[in-house]
Structure 1
Amino acid sequence: MKYRSFIFIITLFSLNFFSQDKLIVVGKDVKNEYEETLKLLIACNEKYYKGFNGDSSVIKNNIYNFSIPNYKDNIPRPFRFLFKTGKNKVFKVSDIFFLSKKMNNINFNSDNNKIIFDGKDNLHEEIINYETHMKSYTSKKSILDSIKFSINESKKFKLEKTTIDSLQNLYDELDQYEDSLLLNLSKKTSNSYVLFWKLVGKFESKGYKNVYDQIFNNLNTSVKKSSVGLIFDNQLKKSEKIALGSIFPDLIFDNRHIVAELGEKYTLIDFWFSYCQPCIEDFPKYREIYSKYHHRGFEIINISTDRTKDKDNWKRVIKEKELIWEHFLDENGMKAKQYNINKFPTNFLLDTSGRIIKKDITPEELEIYLNENLKQ
């Protein structure tokens, strides 16, 4: 009897001990109307969530329960809800909210799919301070988004290249303004995880910028040396290697070195995958450029991030599109992920030494550059 009691106690201890690493999240609809499946989504790369990439729940007594395994620390992480609207099975994504062991109850309004932030949350004041500081950027972006929508609507979403370029220039300027605000904020609130996650989000969407290093270095040690801070620091260091002015890393695929295939003068390294329509649309332009400038010292290297199951399609596209330059397969995009290359196409123009002199250059810009720098 004593032996059985001992086993029972040990079992209870084990369940309690291991359950401490699991975060149970409770979502509640304040309108008590949402009856569809609710999905919990991560807002950044899954490496920051220890492999967790989402969960779904059905309603029970107006409550949605989610389980996040391996949640051992108390670092707030950003999440979103995915709502099903009921109209044509359209889905909507909520605003970002933060979860931790101290913040695991989230209320939402099913009428507008909005998160109802609790003023008692530890991060509430931090969020308010962040939003106040960024108010001028938010206002400018709202105005620019409205202008862009009006132009698209009037032109039936068929814009000329000059209009597209002009809008992009305005968004680039606005992006730089946002960076300057974030840099200024990092000097005032160095312990802010709200700022940290905004920085991670910008880095994941924009790639490496020197200003991101500056912002991160302004954060205090508790943030920089945290588990998520160390992951971000590692990502920054890797991505710095593919920043403008850096020597492109010598990637190796099937014992073939990228640097061994560089052109005599210039090389375009283009990351793509076989179901990427914008990537494929550029190939006819690249064929023309290649035929015109290859004999003058220009080379193209395509690196595909196709999944293992899509290898045959990768080979098919190369053959059908008559892509006669060098091709490498970064199977499942493993090396691309290491360098935070997550949008396609992404390209790099290298000089004869392998130094990156242009990034994400369009075929039109590429031809202008080669025409000016590869005189016959």
Structure 2
Amino acid sequence: MMRNIFLLINILFSLSFFSQKTMKVIGEDIKNKYQESLRLVTVFNEKYYKGFSGDSAAIKNDRYTFSIPNYNDDSPKPFRFLFKTVKNKVFKISDIFYISKNTNKISFNSDISKIIFENKDDLYNEIIDYDAYMKSYTFKKKILDSIKFSINERKKFKLGKTTTDSLQNLYNGLDKYEDSLLLSLSKKTPTSYVLFWKLVEKLETKGYKKTYHQIFNNLSISIKKSSVGLIFDNQIKNAEKIVLGSLFPDLIFLNKKVLKELGNSYTLIDFWFSYCQPCIDDFPKYKEIYSKYHDRGFEILNISTDRTKDKENWKKVIKEKDLKWIHFLDENGVKAKQYNVNKFPTNYLLDSTGRIIKKDITPEELDLYLSENLK
């Protein structure tokens, strides 16, 4: 019978809590104990949440209680629910929903991981209008995702470079179309926090684009001067400093300047961490490239974002993989987050002056580029 139950979790927000530094979020299980625990998780960079990264709550007397510290401003912030179901022991994640001082209730259907929006919610019409305006993009993306899945299934997820490049070009074109819609929407609905958080998502996943600056500039003063708006303004200005054609930031770790270690010709700066398997998978290829071109002025600088508790594993990987080039530790990824490096691996190819000439270049592309430019 549990398989057919829709569990609705009503999250009630007591306004009396908002005068406190720590806001209490109380949820009630009004059906059966469909899951053992529920986790409230953030969606974007922790800076937007003043260091809050999530809170878990087990069922106690049919209720959940979350605590969100330092929640004392008017800006609605996006969250998700993460939960492990009892019936099949798998993790699910909900749609994005927003918590603000004006939030009275959020209903959640955990059986289908959907948030049930209330008509009285201040952001309800905003969400509906946003979804309607972006409908053409959503439709195009759904078709492209379906095509990609079909090709992967037919090719057993072993795609050739030509197919991969073609798909990437299609996604790049779709991304530009989305940007154009967002730019147009920013002129029509400059007070939309739904649009603002979409802009945050774009910056964090795609890196800096001039269009994002234009969209942000179109938003209302109230958003731009809000606590989250000021954080975004700082984030996008930092991200602008690490784009193609700009000088790589003068990062310093343990009093050692990264730019002091540049090669005489080209330098690959590679952001990684010691539990990143795709990062580690590239190391054998980099070792071959390093042995071929190091004597001709090519250098590799690894910047690890390992957490404090993983420092020993970072040292272990370097030793076991016999990585001869220079290593820096950006402990807990502080600098990486500052410059919006959120995916790993992320790399930058610099010329001898420290200017960025390539980003996210593959080992194969790097080998080809060096062979053509280091005669």
TM-based fold match above 0.5: yes
Provide the C-alpha distance between the structure 1 equivalents of 2:116 and 2:192, rounded to a whole number of angstroms.
21
Q: What percent identity do the matched residue pairs reach? A: 74
Alignment partners' CA distance in 1, 2:342 and 2:120: 37
- State the Cα distance separating 1:279 from its structure 2 match: 1.0
C-alpha spacing 1:106/1:157, structure 2 compared with 1 (3 Å): same
* Contact 1:263–1:298, Cα closer than 8 Å, also in 2: yes
Structure 1 contact 58–64 (Cα < 8 Å) conserved: yes
CA distance in 2, matches of 1:33, 1:308: 37
Moved more, 225-234 or 143-152: 143-152
**SS in structure 2 opposite 1:216?**
helix
Deviation at 1:61, TM superposition (A): 6.7
| Matched-pair contact (CA < 8 Å) for 2:18–2:101 | no
**Alpha-carbon distance, 1:325 to partner:** 1.7
2:183 matched to which residue of 1? 183
Q: 1:274 maps to which residue?
A: 274
* 1:1-376 paired onto structure 2 within 5 Å: 19-27=19-27, 34-59=34-59, 63-375=63-375
Q: Deviations over 1:92-131 (max 9, x none)?
A: 1111111111114110123312110011111111111111
Q: Which amino acid aligns with 2:25?
A: V
Whole-angstrom distance in 1 between the partners of 2:180 and 2:278:
31
Q: 8 Å contact 1:80–1:97 — kept in the other structure?
A: yes
- Residue 162 of structure 1: how far off its partner (Å): 3.2
SS at structure 2 position matched to 1:119: coil
Amino acid at match of 2:356: I
Larger mean Cα displacement after TM superposition, 105-114 or 63-72: 63-72
Q: In the alignment, what sits opposite 2:13?
A: none
Aligned residues: 360
SS state of the match for residue 24, structure 2?
Answer: strand
Query: 1:143 is aligned with what amino acid?
Result: I
* Partner Cα distance (1:313, 1:67) in 2: 33
- Mapped to 2, the partners of 1:40 and 1:172 lie a distance apart of 33
SS at match of 1:271: strand
**1:310 CA displacement:** 2.5
Q: SS at 1:323's partner residue?
A: coil
Question: What is the DSSP-based 3-state SS (H/G/I as helix, E as strand, rest coil) of the residue aligned with 1:259?
Answer: helix
Provide the alpha-carbon RMSD of the alignment: 2.1
Q: Tell me the secondary structure at the aligned position of residue 268 of structure 1.
A: strand
2:195 and 2:155 map into 1 onto residues whose CA distance is: 38
Secondary structure of the residue that 1:68 maps to in structure 2?
A: strand
Q: Distance in 1 between matches of 2:177 and 2:231?
A: 26
**Contact 2:25–2:65 at 8 Å: present in 1 too?**
yes
- Given that 2:274 and 2:304 are in contact with CA atoms closer than 8 Å, whether structure 1 keeps it comes out as yes
SS of the residue corresponding to residue 291 of structure 2 reads: helix
Contact persistence 2:95–2:114 (CA under 8 A): yes
Q: 1:12 corresponds to which residue?
A: none
3-state SS, counterpart of residue 188 of structure 2 = coil
Cα deviation, residue 246, structure 1 = 0.9
* Residues 214 and 34 (structure 1), Cα distance of their counterparts in 2 relative to 1, 3 Å cut: same
Are the equivalent residues in 1 in contact too, given 2:182–2:195 (CA < 8 A)? yes
**1:88–1:109: structure 2 CA closer, same or farther, 3 Å change rule?**
closer
Q: Which structure has the bigger radius of gyration?
A: 1
Q: Which amino acid aligns with 2:244?
A: L
The unaligned stretches of length 5 or more in structure 1 are 1-15
C-alpha distance in structure 1 between counterparts of 2:227 and 2:59, whole Å: 33
Could you tell me how far 1:293 is from its partner in structure 2? 1.8
The structural deviation recorded for 1:215 is 0.9
Give the letter for the 1:69 counterpart. P
Stretches of structure 2 that go unaligned for 5 or more consecutive residues are: 1-15
Contact 1:30–1:107 (8 Å) recurs in 2: no
The whole-number CA distance in structure 2 between the counterparts of 1:296 and 1:341 is 29
Partner-residue secondary structure (3-state), 1:36: strand
TM-score, normalised to structure 2's length?
A: 0.90
Q: TM-score, normalised by structure 1?
A: 0.89
Instruction: Describe the SS at the equivalent of 1:371.
Output: helix
